[in-house]
Chain A
Amino acid sequence: MAHDHDDHPHDHDHGSELPETALRVKALESLLVEKGLVDPAALDAIVDAYENKIGPRNGARIVARAWIDAGYKARLMTDATAAIAEFGFSGAQGEHMVVVENTPAVHNLVVCTLCSCYPWPVLGLPPVWYKSSAYRSRAVIDPRGVLRDFGLSLSDEVAVRVWDSTAEIRYLVLPERPAGTEGLDAEALADLVTRDAMIGTAKVSAP
């Protein structure tokens, strides 16, 4: 459904597979390697890190721990960077973390209107929709409409707080723990927590 170019000719924020682009990338890499500017093994290691090591499972473990450990949650809400580092997650695009908590009265939504800033250490690389013109333009002026695009309708009584990541502070949403999950351990809870719930475009559902 993301690739219906016909409906949105002005919003091509999708992954492209133009062979011409692939060839240009290959040519640039060959040149940078030949000049000794980059180490091809380092390039492999960077791709491997973001394909296999750094992703939304990290954030899900943080959320699950906050749900079951009040002391951890208190540390997370006062110094998120340090509390997240307790799990060994830190660094690029998550140097200064803030966690915002969803409650029955408040729903938080994270965006970057100016580029695509996103908390990489806990969520990995951003999905295409997060980087799209549609999301970046509308999240601040029509957050409730954007949430409806994701199938989430909020009552007018719920306050929507949108966090526009204009500096190097990165935001993670702590979603509400669903009812009926009292007996689950941290691993089972983490399995329920989706990437979108930690951006704020979804709620977490009970199994």
Chain B
Amino acid sequence: MNGVHDMGGMHGFGPVTPEANEPVFHASWEGRVLAMRRAVGAWRRWNIDAGRHTIETLPPADYLRLTYYEKWLESTIKLVLGAGLVTPLELETGRRDPAVPVATPPLTADKVLPVIMKGGPTQRETAVRPRFAAGQSVRARDINPVGHTRLPRYVRGRHGTIECDHGAHVFPDSNARFEGENPQYLYTVRFAARELWGEAANPADAVYLDLWEDYLDPA
């Protein structure tokens, strides 16, 4: 979707302001949000792409106003409601519906580190051969899907060069809609800064993006 989250190349947000000796969390609730997000994720009722899309579909003004962990809180609430893990009435009252049996959490403390260490690899085996090879010229497709996509606006229609492929990976556009993983080749594509931003850019500079085959045409 052409959302406010797709920020590459926008102006007006001011300088970057690093914080000296920044703590991991600025308040204890931030850590609880991170932890809840991961722990309810263990129910496997959604995937990482669908999760990202719930953040992208926050109202644009909220997206810009909320902090990172505030966005995660809103998104987690949307996800547990959408998956039916929590009912709207339970959320409103803060109490379990007595008609619903108490569940057993899939993620227990002893499993936390092993689950973190395992992660969720997105590479998949495929018998298909890659369509593009390193060094080949490509053009990012000019697509404007209303759903989730990882093709940012600032490269659509622009010419780049295949740097390498990473094998086949889960395709976020279909996975976010729960329409299947549709694994396809993922390439690192080099775009000259001047191709993206015009003659004012330094001729030596470049931006590299990881783009799926469905985002690319030969050029």
Contact = CB atoms under 8 A, between A and B. Distances in A.
Interface of A: 1-4, 7-8, 10-17, 21-22, 24-32, 34-39, 41-47, 49-51, 53-55, 88, 90-96, 98, 113-116, 121, 124-125, 127-129, 131-141, 143-144, 146, 149-150, 156-169, 196, 201
Contacts, number: 315
Contact of B208 (A34, A125, A164, A196): A164
A128 B22 contact: yes
Contacts of A1: 17-20
A29 B80 CA distance: 12
B119 to A, nearest CB: 4
A37 B105 contact: yes
B185 to A, nearest CB: 11
A46 B186 CA distance: 31
14 contacts: A21-B73, A38-B40, A39-B39, A45-B113, A53-B113, A91-B115, A92-B115, A96-B166, A114-B52, A129-B16, A129-B19, A134-B15, A149-B16, A157-B204
Closest 3 CB pairs of A and B: A15-B26, A113-B8, A91-B119
B94 A163 contact: no
B110 to A, nearest CB: 8
Contacts of B210: 164-167, 169
B107 A39 contact: yes
Contacts of B100: 35
B18 A137 contact: no
B66 A129 contact: no
B131 interface: no
A14 B67 contact: yes
A37 B112 contact: no
A114 B150 contact: yes
B64 A10 contact: yes
B76 A28 contact: yes
Given A51-B24, A141-B197, A129 B17 contact: yes
Contacts of A13: 67-68
Contacts of B154: 113, 140-141
